[in-house]
Structure 1
């Protein structure tokens, strides 16, 4: 009887030992999902300085600027993160330049409009107009998300009108519109060489741009011939004479 009990005890111990081995062989946390370190390492965070353009899709390039009235008529071709000179004029001491920002989108017009012909090139960026003297740039004007069209990618010139006390430079990035030409105006003081933007004042209203069809210096005044179209009121067809007020950095209409 003692031998039988001893055998039972040995068998029971062996069974318990096997059960213990089976439990210890079960992997820890077997019901949890595995974590893949390699998959996490392949994720590349977007950086503004990255050379990979995040706007690329199977359908082409998508603009990162807000949608405009021309957006549906533009097909984007390239994106550049290198600033480019888009307009330039030489001064006696330095230059005035229009320079693109960190991102410039270039494309072409796929349908004609009042702003351009089909195939015209499109340019959009956060542009700055600067006065450059040596290695120093003085920002004269900022044009955020500015979009314009030109037949080619040639560097744009500034038009120049000279007065006794200052030289006036006009930049017209958009080569045509449905209501005349629109220019940004800058002055170079002949006495001290100071360079600055000029506002246009007509009555109580001031503007950073000058709307014109033709213009020139007549007897020390800037004479502007306004654009005339169908339905233009007669009072708006007359030439406008502006006096240059350097102290207040304005052209003031008579």
Structure 2
């Protein structure tokens, strides 16, 4: 497995991996599989690479979590300021592996396909940590800005065993990989439940607060 790239030490931040792969299609405009992509008019692709590169990481009490590119990755920049980012922000798109490293054991806990990162820096981003009695929850937010709020993936690390796992969100019969929460209110642990505030509309619209309980059997956050 190539996932250990750039993660030899948790003592210091992982620096951007220099690409040793053959880059192709320099200067190509961004083309999404979805013709209605909101990125098409604000992003320019500068190159593609296949060298595994860490895009996010955090130390945990049982090792570390990190996100590494898998296969061809598009690298570009934002050309037009918008709710998606500022001019010059770094853009990455591709397939990514979310990796848990625990006692030298490296395990892929989730694959994220056609994921987009937009960030003001080319350095690996961190995760947002929320502590519960039995586990720590880590939120991965690939894009640092948006019109209504942040979209985040959740991953849990069991405090006793060190097991890491992806956590989906269930609301009625709908199961989603991510949650969206308003910019001024980070999800929080209140009485061992995850409380998430979502803005219904852009700007100063009404907010909706949802409380999730963790189901140990399904490893899901389930809305009450």
Where on the TM-score scale, by shorter chain, does this alignment land: which range?
Answer: 0.7 to 0.9
**Correspondence for 2:223:** 253
Query: Structure 1, unaligned stretches of length 5 or more?
Result: 1-49
Structure with larger RCO (C-alpha < 8 A, sep 6+): 2
TM-score (norm 1): 0.71
Measured after TM superposition, the shift of residue 221 of structure 1 is 1.1
Match of 1:226 among 198, 212, 216: 198
Q: CA 1:221–1:51 in 2, change beyond 3 Å: closer, same or farther?
A: closer
In structure 2, the gaps of 5 or more residues are 1-19
**Residues 55, 64 of structure 1: 8 Å contact kept:** no
1:103-252 → structure 2 map (5 Å cutoff): 103-133=72-102, 135-213=104-182, 214=185, 215-230=187-202, 237-252=207-222
The structure in which a higher percent of residues are helix is 1
C-alpha separation in 1, matches of 2:75 and 2:155:
26
Max radius of gyration: which structure?
1
User: Does 2:66 match 1:97?
Assistant: yes
Deviations 1:21-69 (A, max 9, x none): xxxxxxxxxxxxxxxxxxxxxxxxxxxxx9554524xxx3356863633
**Cα deviations across residues 131-162 of structure 1 (Å, max 9, x unaligned)?**
12355421111122222211111211111111
CA root-mean-square deviation: 2.4
Give 1 or 2: higher strand fraction: 2
Distance 1:183 1:176 in 2: 12
**Counterpart secondary structure, 2:199:** coil
